[in-house]
Structure 1
Amino acid sequence: MSKFVHIGYGNIVNAERINAIVNPDAAPVKRMVHTAREEGKAIDATQGRKTKAVLVMEDGQIVLSALLPETIATRAQE
């Protein structure tokens, strides 16, 4: 059975499909997010708030969250 993790503001992702949870402030991550947006592979789950975490999924999609990476990682491990 799949395990789901709450990533903020009513948004949920499959925890088993998360490859990485990274901070969005680094230049390589910003480029990755920009490229994903251009390719239509970015999902913005911030509800208009500041992006604090970028989730890289197995299928190459990028999910943007307004929660801290540490918070999401803790929830995914529970």
Structure 2
Amino acid sequence: MQRERFINLGFGNFVVASRVVSIVNPASSPMRRLREDAKAEGRLVDATQGRKTRSIIITDSNHVILSAILPDTLGQRFAQEEDDDA
């Protein structure tokens, strides 16, 4: 049986790696709208612990997760998890 892999979003928060669709920068207008729409629909998870949002993680269940970790750092953690599987 395959074990689920988790990606550390910082501050003790994790997401299942296989459920992540994308990791994006929150600075653009479309990403701001995505965040606002997710909040209005109850699909927003704020994992920033009160810090500035530096990345947005979108899952296959259409949930939007906010993280205070940079997208590059999360991408490296995601790639490292894939390397560990090989």
Q: Which residue of 2 aligns with 1:8?
A: 10
What TM-score, normalized by structure 1, do the two folds share? 0.98
Paired residue for 2:26?
A: 24
Residue 74 (structure 1) aligns with: 76
Structure 2: runs of 5+ lacking an equivalent: 81-86
Runs of 4+ in 1 over 2 A off after TM superposition: none
Query: Percent identity over the alignment?
Result: 40
Q: 1:49: Cα distance to partner?
A: 0.3
Partner SS, residue 72 of structure 2: helix
In our comparison, the structure showing a higher alpha carbon Rg is: 2
- Cα RMSD, aligned residues only: 0.5
* AA at the equivalent of 1:21: I
Q: Which amino acid aligns with 1:74?
A: Q
Paired residue total? 78
Q: Deviations over 1:53-74 (max 9, x none)?
A: 0000000000000000010010
Alpha-carbon distance, 1:76 to partner: 0.9
TM-score, normalization by structure 2: 0.89
Q: Structure 1: which 5+ runs fail to align?
A: none
